[in-house]
A and B are shown apart, each in its own frame.
Chain A
Amino acid sequence: MPGKLKAKIVAGRHLPVMDRASDLTDAFVEVKFGNTTFKTDVYPKSLNPQWNSEWFKFEVDDEDLQDEPLQITVLDHDTYSANDAIGKVYIDIDPLLCSEAATVISGWLPIYDTIHGIRGEINVLVKVDLFNDLNRFRQSSCGVKFFCTTSIPRCYRAVMVHGFVEELVVNEDPEYQWIDRIRTPRASNEARQRLIFLMSGELQRKIGLKVLEMGGNAVVGYLQCFDLEGESGLVVRAIGTACTLEKISTFPATATHPNNSSPSKDMKEPGFGEEAPGVPLSSGPPTPLRAQTFSSFSPSKSYSRQSSSSDTELSLTPKTGMGSGGSAGKEAGPLKALLRQQTQSALEQREYPFFTLTAFPPGFLLHVGGVVSARSVKLLDRIHNPDEPETRDAWWEEIRQEIKSHAKALGCHAVVGYSESTSICEEVCILSASGTAAVLSSRFMQDGPLDTEHRFEEVVSPGCGFCHIPYDELNIPFPAQLTYCYCCRRYKVPDVLFTTIDLPTEANVTGKGCLIQARLCRTKKKAQGEGNATAISSLLPFLEYELHTQLMNKLKLRGMNALFGLRIQISVGETMLLGLASATGVYLTALPSPGGIQIAGKTPSDITYEQHISTMQKKINDTIDKNKELYEINPPEVVEEIIGSPIPEPRQRSRLFRSHSESSDEVSELDLSHGKKDAFVLEIDDTDAVEDIHALLTDSPTPAGFYSCNTEIMPGIQNWTSAIQMFTSVRVFRLNANLTNQGLNKIFSDLCENLLKSLYFKLRSMVPCCLCHLNFTVAIPEDELIQVAVTAVAMSFDKEQPLENGKQSGEKTLIKAITENDEQLQFNLELNAETSSHNPLSSPKGLSEVGSHLSARDRCSSWIEQLKLKAHTIRRGSVKTTSSLEKASPLPEGRSRSLRSNRSYSGSSVAVVKMTPLSFIPGAKIIKYLGIINMFFIRETSSLREEGGVSGFLHTFIAEVFAMVRAHVAALGGNAVVSYSMKECVFMENPNKNQAQCLINVSGDAVIFVRESELESTSVQTQSATTHTSNGGEGT
C-alpha cells in the first residue's frame, strides 16, 4: 500500500443550466481513481453548488498513481431518467509524487466536455501521502522528475547526464473499435482521452524506471508524441535525456559557493553504463543497415517488418572535421584525443549516444559536426502484430542506428538536439529523426577522467570552440571549405554550420540573427500500398536536397554563415509532399564570411538575356547588402595573409604556442583551398534555380522593429522587458486548382509569408519585439488542404542601449544565467582566468584508449563512400559552394549577448499564468518546477455552423486548451508554464454533416517564478561574486 490519494470537492461555479424548467442544476460529483468511485451529495438547484465534501481516500499502488489520472465527473441529478453528465476534469497527479514538485493541487479547474467545451469550473483539493516501500521490486518510478525543457532546468544543476531514454506504448484506438459504431461520440472521445492519459502515465512511469536503472533522477528534454495510426492503433512514444540533477539552493548567494560545485564530488554518483540492458552494444558494423535503407523499396521481408526504403539525406551541411579538431596543441593534442576516445567509449557503451537537449551546461558541448537526419517510409497495414510495440520499436531502432552512424561519419560520438517525428497519411508513415552530431565533454558522464578534463576544456575558448571541426580533414564526407577559425586562428572551421541546437550562450556572434525558412511542395501521384511508399521514398531525397539548397541560398542572401535550431518537417498527403525547414540564421564570428550568390547563364549569347541576368544579380547583391545592414553584420575587414598563419595577440600567445597544429601538411593543403575564390553560383537555365532565385527574392523582410527566430534566444538582443505574449495561430488553406510543382511551391511559400505578416501585424503594439521560438507545423489533413500551425512567443525589448553598456549587462546576465544552471562554470572560469598565463597541461591520464577512435573511423568509412557517391549524384554540377575570403576577421571580442536582462520590473499583482515556449521568463527567476503538464483534449461538434464555422470552433477550442493549462498550473501553485508546446493539432471537418473534430496535445513545465526586482537584494551578492570571473571567460 504505498500511497494514499485524497481528494475533496469544494464547490462549483458557472455551471450550465441543466434543467430548463427551473433554469438551474442539481449537480453532484463522481470522483474516480482506478476502479474506485466516490460520490458527493446532490447540491440541488444551484449553478454555484457548495459541496464541501469529505476527503475521499483512495489507497493505491504507486504504479497506479503514476499511470492513472484522477477523474472528476460533474453530473446533473435526475430523479426519473439517467443523470446527465455536465463534464469532466482529468487531474494528472504525477506532480504530487515528487517531493520537490507540488505538494497539493487546489483551485478552480474548468469542467470540460468534448461536445460542449468548458462548462463551468470546479474547486478541488488533491493530496497524496506516499509511504516508502523500498524492498519491493519496483514497478513504479515515483519521484523521477520530468522536464519538457531541453536544457538543464534553471534551478537545478546537472551532476551527471546519463543519456538517451525512450519508450513506446501501443493500444487499439477506441475510435476504431467495433463498439464505436454504437456508442455516442462523447463516449468515444472520452474513451480516447482517458486512454491517452493512461498511456502517457504508463509511458512516463516506464521511462522513469529506465532512468532509475541508469542511476538518474530526472528526465530533461522529455518529448512525448502520439501517432494516430488509424486501424493499426494508437501509439504514444517518448524520448528524453536522463540526468542526475541537484537542486540549487534558492538563495543565490549560497548557490555560488564553490564547494558546491566540486566536480570530483559530482562524479562519484553511480552511473549508467555497464548494465545497459537489452540490445547489444553497437559493435557490429553499421553498414548492413545502411545498405538496406538505401536499397529501393523491397516489400519482401520475412515477416511484417516491411521496411520500405528508408531514405537518408544525411548531414545537410558540408561539414567536416579533423581528427583532433579541438585539440590543444602539441602536448595537449594527443592527450585530448585520448580523452575524447575515452568519452567516446563511454558513449559508445550506450545504445544510443543521443541527447534531446538543445542547450548545455558550459563546457559540455565541445564541437559540433553538423546536422544528421534519417527518414524511413513504412506501411502501417503491414504491421504483423499491431497491438504490440515490437514492430514500431524495430522501426525506430533502425532510424536511430542510422543517425548514430551518420554522427560517426562526422567524427562525432554523440548526437545532441535530437528529436523524432512522424507523418502519417492513410497507411503510409514517414518516420523522421534528426539531431546534431557533436563531440561532448566527458565531464558530465560517469567514466570521464576527473582531474584532467578541466585542464583541457578550459583551453578551448567557449566562444568558438564548438565551431571547430570534429572530423579528420583528410576524410571529409562532403566537399567543403575549411579555414582557420576566425576567432582563435588555431583550429579549422567549416564555411557553413547547420545545427538543430540552440545557439550556445557563449558563442561569438556578429550582428543579429533571423528566421530562415525553406518551403517546398511536391506533387505526387495517388497510389496505394507499396507503390505509394516507393514513390514517396524516391521523392524524399530530392525534397531534402532542395530544402537544403534553399536554406543555403537564403542564408547567404542574409550574409550569414550558420543555422541553429534547424527543424525539417516533411508531411505526406495523398497527392503531395510538403517540406518545411525552419532555422535561425546567424553570423558566427568564428566562421568565414559567406560568399555572395552569383548567377550564371548557360547560353550567354542573347543580350537581353544577359541583361536579365545582370539585373537579377544586382537585385541579389542589393538584398545582401541591405540584409547585412539590417542584421548589423559588419565584421571588420581583415588582411588575407593572416589566414592560415595566425599572429597571436600577446595576451594569447602562451596558449597559441601550445596549439601548434600537429601536422603541417594539413595546413598547406588547406591554404590551397583558400586560394580558390568562387562564390555560390546559380545557373538560371536550370528551372529549379529560377525558382530558387524567385523564392529568395520574394521573402519579404520583417517589418521595422521586429526580429524573429526559432531558437530560444536572439543574438544581439539583451534587454528584454517583462512583456511576453505567447500565441498559437492555425490556418487551413484549400488549393482550388491543379497546380504544378512550381505553382504549389509559390503558394506554399506565400502562405507561410502571409502568416508571418499577419503575426507581425497582430503584435505591432509590442514593437520593438522579437518573435522567439517560432515553431511552424505543417500538415495535409485532407487532399488539397494544407494546415499550418504556429506557436511562438513575442517578447518586447528596450531600444538599444549604448554598446558598452549593453555588453556589460549582457556579460553579467550571461554569467548569472549560467550560474543558475550550473555553478561549475564558475569553477571553470576561475580556472580559465588563472591559467591563461601559464601552461596547465600536464595530465597523462586516459592514455589507454587510443584504439577505439580509429576503429570507429574504419567502420564508418565504407558508408561515407556511399555517402559521397550519393552526394555527387544529387549535386548538380552547376552549383558550387565556396566562400569568398575578402571579408573575414577574427573578432575575438565578439559581442556577448544574453537572453536575460538585469533590469528590474515592478511586479504585477494580477493572478495571471504566463505561458512561453522558452525555458525562461525574461526579467524573472524560476524558483521552483512544479511538474510536467501534459494534456490531451478532444473536441467535437455537430453544430459547426452555429459555433461560428471551423474558425469559431477551433478558436474556442484553443482558447479552452490555454485556459485548462493555466488553471491546472495555477492549481499546482504555479504562475507560469515554460517550454510550452502544442505537439499535436489534428483538425478534421465534414461541413456537409455540420461536424468537426479536433485533437490537441500540449505540454510544458509548470513553474513558480519571481520577478528579479523582488530578488534584487539577494542577487546583488551573486553578481558581484561572478562579475570578475566573467572577464576570464570572455577573453578569448
Chain B
Amino acid sequence: MRLHGTHIKLTERSLYSVDVKMSVELDVFVGNTTIMDKEVYQLWLNGYTVNDAVKVRIEGGVMEECEASAEVLLSDTMDQYRTFQMCERLLHHPAKLANQLLFQIPPDRQAMLIERYYAFDDSFVREVLGKKLSKGTKKDLDDVSIKTGITLKSCRRQFDNFKRVFKVVEELKGPLVENIRQHFLLPDQLARDYAAIVFFANHRFETGKKKLQYLTFQDFAFCAGQLINNWTVGAVDNMMEDMDVDLDKEFLQDLKDLKILITDKDLLDQHKNLVCTALRGKTNVFNEMEANFKNLSRGLVNIAAKLINAKDVRDFFIDLVEKFIEPCRSDKLTSIDVNLYLTHYTNSAHILDTFKHHAVWTRYMGVIKSCILRMYHD
C-alpha cells in the first residue's frame, strides 16, 4: 500500500500517554450536531493552551460533577479545541456559518459562537483604540499582552477581528452599524462597539495620552456613536450613497463659520451676558463660570474651526479634555453644572441677532454637549 512504506515510530506523535505501555495517537469525536462546551470555548478564546485549559477545568470542579478523570478531560479539551480551530475559518465570515454544510450547529449556538468570538476585552481595546490597524500595531501586541495580562493569542484574535470588520465595512455603503450587524451577524450593542472601533481607527483619534487614560472604552464608544449619528454624511443624507465612516466634509467646512462667535467681540460679550443672565442664581459656581466664559467658548469654537484638518480631528478628544473638561474640573464644576452651562451656552447663541449659523451650531453643540457630559467624570 502506498502509505505503508517503511514506518519508523515517532513517539512525539502521540497525543498523550495513558501510561508507559500505551499512548493515544488519534482521538476524535464527531457529533451529527456539533457539540461545543461554552466554558471550553471561552478558554480557547482566552488563548489558553490545552494543558492550561485542562487545569482550569479541573479547578472548576467539572471532574467531580461528572465522575470524569483528568485523561477524559484532556481528551475532551483537545477535541473541542480542534473543533473550534476548524470552525474559526467560518467565524471569520459569520454569514458562512449559517449556510455551510460541514457542521450542523443549532442557530442559537451559532449566535453564541459568533458573539463570543467577536467579543473583546475593554482593557485590550483601550490599548489599540484609534491606532492604525496595521501590521506594525500587530507587532506591538506582545507589549499590549504583557500590559493587560491578556494572552497574546487572544490579543491577536481581537486585533484581527477589528481589522477584519474594518476592511469589510470600509468598502461598503450605507449605515455603519447596520452593515456590521448584517455582515458579522452581531447583536446590536456589539455592532455599535465595532462601529466605534472602526470609526476610531479610521480617524485615528488619539486616545492613548495620559490625560485620556481615565476614559473607558464605553465612553469613547458613546462619543463615536454621537459623531456617527450626527456628523457623518449618512447622518443627514439618507440616500446611503456615502458611508458613515467619514465625517461630513461640508459640515466641517461650515464649522469654520462658527469662529465669528469668538472673533466678533460684540457677539462674544453678548453671548456671555445672555448665558450669565440665564445661569445667575442657579449654581454655586456662577462666578467661576462667568470668569471662564470667554476661555471656554474660545476653546469649543476653536475645536470646531480646526476639525476640517484631519490632523486636528485626531486630537478631538484630547482637545475637549484640555480646553474644556480640565478647566471646568479645576473650578470644581459638577456634571450638573456642566450640563446647565452647556445648555444655556448652546441655546443663547440662537438668540444672538447677528449669528446666522443656527443649524451648524445645533449640529455641532449637540454632539459636543453629550460627549463632554459623558467624558465628564465627577
Contact = CB atoms under 8 A, between A and B. Distances in A.
Interface of A: 13-14, 108, 110, 118, 121, 175, 180, 185, 188, 230, 703-704, 725-737, 739, 743, 747, 750-751, 754, 757-764, 782, 785, 787, 910, 912-915, 948-952, 954-956, 958-960, 962-963, 966-967, 987-993, 995-997
B291 interface: no
A515 to B, nearest CB: 17
A954 B25 CA distance: 12
Given A762-B76, A949-B13, A730 B28 contact: yes
B104 A958 contact: no
A742 to B, nearest CB: 12
A995 B3 contact: yes
A760 B66 contact: yes
28 contacts: A13-B99, A118-B102, A188-B2, A704-B67, A725-B33, A726-B31, A729-B28, A732-B24, A733-B18, A733-B22, A733-B23, A734-B14, A751-B18, A754-B69, A754-B72, A761-B66, A950-B25, A951-B26, A951-B78, A958-B28, A959-B103, A960-B102, A962-B30, A963-B104, A988-B3, A992-B7, A993-B5, A995-B2
B169 to A, nearest CB: 19
Contact of B27 (A731, A764, A910, A960): A731
Contacts of B26: 730-732, 787, 950-951, 954, 987
B146 interface: no
Nearest to B85: A948
A118 B66 CA distance: 36
B106 interface: yes
A943 B115 CA distance: 32
Contact of B30 (A727, A743, A987, A989): A727
A703 B62 CA distance: 13
A734 B23 contact: yes
Given A734-B23, A988-B3, A951 B28 contact: yes
B100 interface: yes
Nearest to B100: A14
Interface in B1-43: 1-11, 13-15, 17-18, 20-35
A4 to B, nearest CB: 30
B10 A991 contact: yes
Contacts of B101: 108, 110, 118, 121, 963, 966-967
A959 B71 contact: no
Contacts of B24: 731-734
Interface of B: 1-11, 13-15, 17-18, 20-35, 65-69, 71-73, 75-76, 78-79, 82-83, 85-86, 96, 99-104, 106-107
Nearest to A744: B21
B37 to A, nearest CB: 8
A730 B82 CA distance: 14
Nearest to A783: B7
A1011 B18 CA distance: 44
Nearest to B86: A956
Contacts of B14: 734
B100 to A, nearest CB: 7
A958 B26 CA distance: 13
Given A175-B1, A955-B86, A785 B102 contact: no
Nearest to B23: A734
Contacts of B1: 175, 230, 988
A751 B75 CA distance: 13
A915 B34 CA distance: 12
Nearest to A737: B21
B29 A734 contact: no
Given A14-B100, A735-B21, A762 B107 contact: no
A951 B5 CA distance: 21
B35 A725 contact: yes
Contact of A910 (B6, B78, B107): B107
A991 B25 CA distance: 11
A175 B2 contact: yes
A66 to B, nearest CB: 28
A991 B96 CA distance: 33
B76 A993 contact: no
Nearest to B15: A951
A966 B101 CA distance: 8
A725 B21 contact: no
Contact of B104 (A733, A736, A913): A913
Q: Which of A760, A951, A996 counts the most chain B CB atoms within 10 A?
A: A951
Contacts of A988: 1, 3-4
Contacts of B96: 14
Given A732-B25, A958-B28, A966-B101, A703 B20 contact: no
Given A725-B35, A736-B23, A912-B33, 16 more contacts: A725-B31, A727-B29, A735-B21, A754-B18, A914-B32, A951-B28, A951-B82, A955-B30, A955-B86, A959-B102, A962-B32, A988-B3, A992-B6, A993-B3, A995-B3, A996-B3
A993 B75 CA distance: 26
Contacts of B28: 729-731, 951, 954-955, 958
A991 B102 CA distance: 26
A98 B59 CA distance: 58
Nearest to A730: B28
Q: Which of B2, B32, B83 counts the most chain A CB atoms within 10 A?
A: B32
A108 B99 CA distance: 10
B68 A761 contact: yes
A703 B76 CA distance: 17
B53 to A, nearest CB: 15
Given A955-B82, A992-B8, A995-B3, A737 B29 contact: no
A704 B2 CA distance: 47
A630 to B, nearest CB: 14
B18 A750 contact: yes
Contacts of A951: 15, 26-28, 78-79, 82
A809 B65 CA distance: 33
A992 to B, nearest CB: 6
A725 B20 contact: no
A992 B72 contact: no
A180 B31 CA distance: 35
A787 B27 CA distance: 10
A747 B19 CA distance: 10
Contact of A959 (B5, B11, B30, B78): B30
Contacts of A739: 21
A962 B11 CA distance: 31
Nearest to A990: B3
B21 A910 contact: no
Q: Which of B6, B35, B96, B107 counts the most chain A CB atoms within 10 A?
A: B35
A274 to B, nearest CB: 46
Contacts of A962: 30, 32, 104
Contacts of B31: 725-727, 762
A754 B75 CA distance: 10
Contacts of B106: 910, 912
A421 B331 CA distance: 90
Contacts of A727: 29-32, 35
Given A733-B25, A739-B21, A959-B30, A758 B4 contact: no
Given A747-B22, A955-B28, A989 B104 contact: no
The 6 closest A-B pairs by CB, nearest first: A732-B26, A727-B31, A726-B32, A958-B30, A955-B28, A915-B32
Nearest to A793: B32
A14 B99 CA distance: 10
A787 B25 CA distance: 10
B96 to A, nearest CB: 7
Contacts of A948: 82, 85
A962 B100 CA distance: 13
B45 to A, nearest CB: 19
A686 B78 CA distance: 42
Given A725-B33, A727-B30, A951-B82, A736 B8 contact: no
Contacts of B34: 959
A466 B298 CA distance: 100
Contacts of B107: 910
A948 B103 CA distance: 17
